[in-house]
Amino acid sequence: MANDEFSLRRSLLYVPGNMPSMLQNVPLFHCDAVFIDLEDAVPLNEKDAARILVSRFIATYTQRNKEVFVRINALDTPWGHEDLCRVLPARPDGIRLPKADTPEIVERLDTLLTEMEEELNVAIGTFKIIPSIESALGVINAIKIARCSSRVIALAFGAEDYTASMEIERTKGGEELFHARARVLWAAKAAGIQAIDTIFADVGDMASFRTEVALVKNLGFTGKSLVNPRQIDVVHEVFAPQKDEIDYAIQVIEAIVRARKMGTGVIALNGKMVDAPVVKRAARVIRTAVSQGMLDYQLDDEVIYGTH
């Protein structure tokens, strides 16, 4: 797994790769991670310029206060391989791989990253991979893609390309995305990695954006790709555990500790049954609150799972 310090990935902001005015703001954005984009945000005749600019920028950004991923061009384009060769020596944290339709495509990137790590003399596995699941084929293969390399720390759903591959329109309600989102989530959860939801392009419509963020949080996504810094706060607000959620989680933990003292694994709290799955969910709320600095709480595995 990645450095624990950075395991919180709620807000992942796209930054166009050929714009110095945006790039040099990367240290100032308060998102958890950035996707510096060499793909769709860069016109074909500027691919060479963007990869040089991005590699120069990342090399200067040594005091990192967020993770830096680079979205390269797909490996079957004339630019993908050169993107890697130019950008990796600057030491980004990882690569967001577009059009990751099959495990073979991700495995190919894995091999290239290993070769570069050997050349650069850095530990094997340093560079992470976030595959973009953004076609019908990618959704079908998501389960294999999530498990095909230990570098894969998250799956990122891409609804714009996905709806294009399905020959359908994307709506604000997102009903057409349900099955694809669910499959990406199952794949990620089964593999024990994170799941990042798609972008929401209409920056002016903050109400619909908030609704979508709440929806994907409830579905199980751990974060969301963003197109504008204005969207960061909403994601953090929605993803933060609410005070009553935290209070209840603490009560659950206290209740289960009491139950275990009495020699049982189940107890009633305010008339509701508390048993192992409830405790696990409470533990997740507490850990999330602690990781976001909202709570100071020591939680041992022994409390969650009981002593053997």
Residues at the site binding another protein, with contacts judged by CB under 8 A: 18-21, 24, 48-49, 52-53, 55-57, 59-60
H or E element, residue 269: strand 267-269
Of 27 and 265, which has the nearer Cβ to another protein?
27
Of 91 and 144, which has the nearer Cβ to another protein?
91
- The minimum distance between CB 62 and another protein, in angstroms, equals 12
Of 20 and 173, which has the nearer Cβ to another protein?
20
Backbone dihedral angles phi then psi of residue 140, each to the nearest 5 degrees: -60, -40
- The minimum distance between CB 38 and another protein, in angstroms, equals 13
**Residues 2 and 93 sit within 8 Å (Cβ to Cβ):** yes
Of 57 and 79, which has the nearer Cβ to another protein?
57
Q: Which of 128, 115, 98 is nearest to 33 (CA)?
A: 128
- The minimum distance between CB 51 and another protein, in angstroms, equals 9
Of 23 and 252, which has the nearer Cβ to another protein?
23
Q: Which of 193, 190, 231, 195 is nearest to 212 (CA)?
A: 231
Give the SS3 label for residue 210.
helix
Angle at 127 between CA 122 and CA 133, to 5 degrees: 165
**Residues 215 and 207 sit within 8 Å (Cβ to Cβ):** no
Rounded Cα gap, residues 74 and 216, in angstroms: 27
**In the block, which residue shows the tokens 């308060």?**
30
- The minimum distance between CB 60 and another protein, in angstroms, equals 5
- The minimum distance between CB 58 and another protein, in angstroms, equals 9
Of 20 and 265, which has the nearer Cβ to another protein?
20
- The minimum distance between CB 82 and another protein, in angstroms, equals 12
Of 49 and 168, which has the nearer Cβ to another protein?
49
Rounded Cα gap, residues 196 and 155, in angstroms: 6
- Residue 120's identity, in one-letter code, is L
H or E element, residue 187: helix 178-191
- The minimum distance between CB 22 and another protein, in angstroms, equals 9
DSSP track, 153-167: -EEEE-HHHHHHHHT
